[in-house]
Structure 1
Amino acid sequence: MKTFCGRANPTTGAIEWEEEDEDYDYHQEIARSSYADMLHDKDRNEKYHSGIRAAVCRVKERGQRAIVLDIGTGTGLLAMMAVRAGADYCYAIEVFKPMADVARKIVDKNGFGNKIKIINKHSTEVTVGPDGDMSCRANILVTELFDTELIGEGALPSYEHAHKYLVQEECEAVPHRATVYAQLVESEHMWAWNKVLPIHIQLEGGKGERVIVPSRDMQMCAGCPCVYDIQLNQVNRNHFTTLTEAIEIFRVDFSKAVSSLPARHTVQTRATTSGLAQVALSWWDIDMDPEGNIKCTMAPYWAHPTPDNIQWRDHWMQCVYFLPKELPIHEGECLHISAMHDDYSLWYKLEHNSDECDTDVLRERPLCSCHAHLMCNRQRFGELNDQQRNEAYIKALKTIVRPDSVCVTISDGSLLSLFAQFLGAAQVYSLEISAMSRRVMEKILAANKLTGKVIVSEKRPEQLTLVDLDNKQVSVLIGEPFFTTSLLPWHNLYFWYARTYLAKLLRSEFTVLPQSAMLLAMAVEFENLWRIRAPCGVCEGFNVSLMDEMIQIWHLPWSGALDGLLPNQ
């Protein structure tokens, strides 16, 4: 069976379908899944090891055989921990076949093949019985199904099914419970990652200023439903003001039946400071034992029990949730913070009183109605709202835009065309190759009364002719450059390709902005970030390397090492 995958051509920007070999998912999914970072997470490994050992001891003290179910075993590390701790048998489930094959080899290499059975299925397809995948139900449930948002990898439906069909009632669970926390903050810096904000342009000659405003539906849009996961420990404290204490929002007890149905959790708290509530910062911790003595926390440094000794990790970070709208609050005011979730994602809402709470959880899920959030990711919003960056572009445009200038902008969803028009260009054309960016730009142009003054075209540079430009040759060619099809920084050099094709439409005397580009590289040593792609050797006394296998998985081109870095940092 052949696999075809859509990829952006870095030269033309076009989406092209390429045939992949049978190892496509093996390379792409594993290499970018942070397996290595998880295995290098010493704090995580030690807490799981202690929790599993304690759970096995509790079962043995009751005079029972310790039968372990490990859902999402990955390399088999947690399953091997269980057997080493004294478990009689372990069923280790891994749905992804290439990783299941690796897990079998690792388990055999470490001498646990007779006590660990690798099951290459989704946990919801596993059966129990004489002819099933498992001969009996397990009495210890071990999982690592969590992402930064806790439930984003399908933890709730997996636990729900396991408790119904795969484990005994009141089984031991490692982790035993998870607790989700949140804290309201005011942050213009973070709010700029959420939507297009008004941009001020100072005009030449003391002619005042013009303000670029987003369309009304962009202003009212609840935004993107997905979490923005970042390293909050890297955010400057000057970039936000806390408005409440960090408060517990809800808990999930994994040793009991778990529901994946949509739910709301509302907590009452008081504002510690007056301000504009814009963002809910959120994180979680997990207790590996019922007493809560073995805890693994994702808390940022200002809420961490040991702020001077925090485990660096990139596979679990912290969450930024944007409230549906900004709300002014006053010190001492009683607030109701609601966290709603379906089976895969969370979102937050702030109410001044409990009467405002809607009973329909899914109806309150934030969904983009303006299309801008479908075009722009968080970093892109940060770029568009970066006043220092905008002022640099405006300053450069003031030196080249003249009353007779015919300008063409090449960048998806760029506001440079508006800058040029407000600075006095005779005519401005904006090439929006993406249909989505064209719709968004037309809305912004209409909101700023520029429809017809800035002409938007979906034509590609090689298709553009003088007829499309009303037989006017281009005097100013500008770009940021930014393209929605770009996966890597150098893909934005598509601007170079576009400029080449537009040469026939340029005047004899023309200006290109930017005039040049330089691609830089630097050899660096990372204290922690290298772990994202690093192959593992011995982990907690287990050989999880199988170097020939791991090299195929992790030693791939370093194509995403800077994922997750904050915009404008």
Structure 2
Amino acid sequence: MSATTACPKTRAFQLRVNPLTGDSEWIVVEEGGDREELEEKTSKNLLATTSYLDMLNDSYRNWAFRAAIEKTIKKPCHVLDIGAGTGLLSMMAARTMAKFEEASEAKVSACESYLPMGKLMRRVLRKNQMEKKVSEILDSELLGEGLIPTLQQAHDMLLAKNPQTVPYRATTYGQLVESPFLWKLHDLFSNEINLSDGIHLTPAGLERVIGIKKQQYVMHCTAMSREIRLLSEPFKIFEFDFWKKPESHGEIEMSIKACSDGNVIAVISWWVLQLDEEGSIFYSTAPRWTNCPDNGMVENCIPGNENWCDHWKQCVWFISGAGLPVLKDKLVLFKAAYDEIKISYHLKCDDQTCCNNFNFGNCLLELSPERVAVYGDKDWRSGFINAMRNTLNVRSAPLCIIADDSVFLTILISYLSKNANTISSFPGLQEKGAQYLQAIADSNGFSMDRVKVIGKRASYLLTDNLIQQKVDFLVGEPFYYGNEGALPWQNLRFWKERTLLDSILSEDVVIMPCKGILKVCAMSLPDLWRSRCSLKKVEGFDHSVVNETLGACGNLPPLLEGPCLPYYIWQCGEVEELSEILPLMEFNFLEPIHACSRKIKVILDDTIEFSKLGICHGFALWIDWVLDNKKSLLVSTGPISRYWKQGVKLLSKPLAVNAAYSFAEIEAFFDHSSGEITISSFSPS
């Protein structure tokens, strides 16, 4: 077995974002650099939110790749491993070849483009006394990590003719579905038709002025299976042979028979990996409601043979508008195309025009599906409308500042008060936000003469003396474009902005929301806890050195705790609330952020009383935004709403809820300088 030659010092750039300001900076990451400690902390924050740990905890996946590698490698050879990860698959290959008499002729070469992961891999290899590297480069969409150009380069420059590969083949499948929930995630215009509040984010004639990016969205579709009607049987779309050089582009056209009357809202797709040439080892991301349609059923096709896995979800491709009506037993023309990074679809019936043309893309604002659903939610809108109407009526010509990226609040203020002067910061939307307001102003009955968009943080107003009068209203949802996947409290940058603007706020300024309340609920989360367990041996290889960096939470050594991570709770497999929802910490936006101590420590006076028996695996945390001083109007971002991610703090050891152990403790620290909240949890010993 040949050793890997020492490489010269590697350097790369890594983006770091300040959660309180939204400012970002590129830092240089290099091996053995002077900023090693800073780089390691930044890498931990990023790697903890990836799926590496979940993949390594997927025992069926690990077994399947090991079995395929051992079956494929029949003699010592040169193994190329693309996208190295922790080095698991390369070590499997090296161990397999070490069994042959000619083991000295064996060689393993690996590629890992992400330097922080490469540095972690070297630690794993040293721990196992190996110098080999490993990984797959597959994501839920199959092509999203540059699979095609990577394989093309490998075939052109690195691989022998007719190489043996693991995986051997990948096949993508799709299914036509109807779903009210998926419809709300992309069709704001049709949802607004059912509302009568006078606000038109998507006016008639401008139906697509707000929309989602035309791409596949990864989701745990099994979690919404009760809200999905299947309108076709599963059908094969594309097949990719890894042992052949792939084409850069491809198209396919077929007729799909509808199995029921309905309205096609989306195409749900997944893939099946055939890991060995003979076709005896498979791995799939198929949803639970279907078996793998590959000339019959493939046993053990679903990962873990029923276990929930976070790292491989299904993909959802939304059909534009209100969907495509279909009739049972009628044919739907289905076209699919792929390029080097993505797959796209469009559909039509015999007597209808195409849905989802490949060149579709005329939205002024492209928002996340969850944000589109929020803007079409009647209860969410009415909360802000009532709160704003109650306060705007008492001011004659107020000056209002929108401190975030809320186009809704900008329109709402201009609609309710014809005399209001509004400054919208739009630090993320920037010029696109201004263009959008210009397009819909007439339909909402206001003039852009009274609306100014600065396209920067609200505190920028202090630098150029842009404010000639004191501010009467400072408002936000809060919503910061591009920050949707972060922990809930990263929207506390609204509090930071409020503090920086303190000198220009009037004495009776209205701040909305006026308060944020950090809520907590004890949860049973067996699937998520299992996927975030600390690692020991993975297929015989010691991975204990990766636990801290990858954000392991379960089965940690004493005194160690895992990080708090963002998740859509409703997509986390088996989920159950075990306690009442309790307030943990309050943030008073009527006061500057520095009015608080440097760290806010909150310990519940009463321990969390569990409301039902079960196993507590951790806590869900979120922020409820209080819109008025009477606390009568609030917006909750808790699990009951599926449009926001919650923070999840998992216990190192699950807590059995019974008469002897009926409580746990949790405390929080808010660091106003960094915007981070540190969550610590305790359970009875």
With the length of structure 2 as denominator, give the TM-score of the two structures. Answer: 0.66
Which residue of 476, 479, 498 corresponds with 1:479? Answer: 476
User: Which residue identity does 1:518 align to in structure 2?
Assistant: I
Which residue of 264, 270, 281 corresponds with 2:268? Answer: 281
Answer whether contact 1:72 1:92 (CA < 8 A) is retained: no
User: Which residue identity does 2:271 align to in structure 1?
Assistant: W
Answer whether contact 1:429 1:455 (CA < 8 A) is retained: yes
Q: Which residue of 2 aligns with 1:411?
A: 404
Which residue of 320, 323, 328 corresponds with 2:319? Answer: 323
Change (3 A) 1:259 1:355: farther
CA distance in 2 between partners of 1:176 and 1:377 (Å) = 35
Q: Which residue of 1 aligns with 2:182?
A: 190
Q: Which residue of 1 aligns with 2:338?
A: 341
Identify which range, 260-269 or 66-75, moves more after superposition.
Answer: 66-75
Answer whether contact 1:143 1:175 (CA < 8 A) is retained: no
Identify which range, 186-195 or 549-558, moves more after superposition.
Answer: 549-558
Answer whether contact 1:411 1:483 (CA < 8 A) is retained: yes
User: Which residue identity does 1:303 align to in structure 2?
Assistant: T
User: Which residue identity does 1:226 align to in structure 2?
Assistant: Q
Q: Which residue of 1 aligns with 2:490?
A: 491
CA distance in 1 between partners of 2:193 and 2:55 (Å) = 47
CA distance in 2 between partners of 1:43 and 1:470 (Å) = 65
Q: Which residue of 2 aligns with 1:558?
A: 563
1:17 Cα shift?
6.2
User: Which residue identity does 1:562 align to in structure 2?
Assistant: Y
SS in 2 for 1:197: helix
CA distance in 2 between partners of 1:4 and 1:48 (Å) = 32
1:229 Cα shift?
0.8
CA distance in 2 between partners of 1:48 and 1:266 (Å) = 33
Q: Which residue of 2 aligns with 1:444?
A: 440
SS in 2 for 1:219: coil
Identify which range, 38-47 or 453-462, moves more after superposition.
Answer: 453-462
SS in 1 for 2:89: helix
Q: Which residue of 1 aligns with 2:173?
A: 181
Q: Which residue of 2 aligns with 1:71?
A: 82
Which residue of 269, 280, 300 corresponds with 1:293? Answer: 280
1:557 Cα shift?
7.6
CA distance in 2 between partners of 1:154 and 1:252 (Å) = 14
Identify which range, 18-27 or 64-73, moves more after superposition.
Answer: 18-27
Q: Which residue of 1 aligns with 2:235?
A: 247
Change (3 A) 1:31 1:337: same
1:44 to 2:58 alignment = no
Kindly indicate whether structure 1 or structure 2 has the higher relative contact order, using CA contacts under 8 Å at least 6 residues apart: 1
SS in 1 for 2:511: strand
Change (3 A) 1:508 1:304: same
Change (3 A) 1:534 1:217: farther
SS in 1 for 2:233: coil
Q: Which residue of 1 aligns with 2:612?
A: none
Answer whether contact 1:106 1:543 (CA < 8 A) is retained: yes
Answer whether contact 2:167 2:242 (CA < 8 A) is retained: yes
SS in 2 for 1:439: helix
1:231 to 2:229 alignment = no
1:348 Cα shift?
1.4
1:106 Cα shift?
3.9
Q: Which residue of 2 aligns with 1:397?
A: 388
Answer whether contact 1:223 1:324 (CA < 8 A) is retained: no
CA distance in 2 between partners of 1:262 and 1:284 (Å) = 18
Q: Which has the higher helix share?
A: 1
- Deviations 1:390-422, CA, capped at 9 Å, x for gaps: 122223334333174536233313312323444
Change (3 A) 1:498 1:355: closer
Instruction: State the superposition RMSD in angstroms.
Output: 4.0
SS in 2 for 1:212: coil
Q: Which residue of 2 aligns with 1:136?
A: none
1:266 to 2:253 alignment = yes
Answer whether contact 1:183 1:242 (CA < 8 A) is retained: yes
1:212 Cα shift?
0.8
Answer whether contact 1:217 1:370 (CA < 8 A) is retained: no
- Superposition pairs of residues 58-207 of structure 1, within 5 angstroms: 59=74, 65=76, 67-85=78-96, 86=99, 88=103, 89-96=106-113, 99-100=117-118, 102-103=120-121, 106-107=124-125, 109-110=127-128, 113=130, 118=132, 144-194=136-186, 196-197=188-189
CA distance in 2 between partners of 1:504 and 1:168 (Å) = 69
Q: Which residue of 2 aligns with 1:313?
A: 309
Answer whether contact 1:225 1:366 (CA < 8 A) is retained: no
SS in 1 for 2:392: coil
Same amino acid, percent of matched pairs: 27
- Deviations 1:416-451, CA, capped at 9 Å, x for gaps: 232344445642514223223333333332443423
- Deviations 1:447-491, CA, capped at 9 Å, x for gaps: 4342337513317544548996775x6554432111226444223
**Structure 2 unmatched runs, 5+:** 1-9, 30-34, 293-299, 553-560, 572-641, 645-685
SS in 2 for 1:144: coil
Answer whether contact 1:186 1:275 (CA < 8 A) is retained: yes
Which residue of 372, 376, 386 corresponds with 1:381? Answer: 372
**Structure 1 unmatched runs, 5+:** 120-141
User: Which residue identity does 1:91 align to in structure 2?
Assistant: V
- Deviations 1:108-161, CA, capped at 9 Å, x for gaps: 6546x4xxx637xxxxxxxxxxxxxxxxxxxxxx96221111121122223333
Identify which range, 532-541 or 47-56, moves more after superposition.
Answer: 532-541
Identify which range, 339-348 or 183-192, moves more after superposition.
Answer: 183-192
Q: Which residue of 2 aligns with 1:135?
A: none
SS in 2 for 1:150: coil
CA distance in 2 between partners of 1:175 and 1:202 (Å) = 49
Answer whether contact 1:198 1:213 (CA < 8 A) is retained: no
CA distance in 2 between partners of 1:568 and 1:541 (Å) = 40
SS in 1 for 2:85: coil
Q: Which residue of 2 aligns with 1:138?
A: none
Answer whether contact 1:231 1:564 (CA < 8 A) is retained: no
CA distance in 2 between partners of 1:109 and 1:209 (Å) = 63
1:33 Cα shift?
3.4
| Aligned residue-pair number | 522
CA distance in 2 between partners of 1:217 and 1:40 (Å) = 47
CA distance in 1 between partners of 2:28 and 2:242 (Å) = 42
Answer whether contact 2:72 2:276 (CA < 8 A) is retained: yes
- Deviations 1:227-279, CA, capped at 9 Å, x for gaps: 211111222522x3322222111211223x13141111223211222333231
SS in 1 for 2:567: coil
CA distance in 1 between partners of 2:282 and 2:107 (Å) = 24
Q: Which residue of 1 aligns with 2:452?
A: 456
Change (3 A) 1:410 1:76: closer
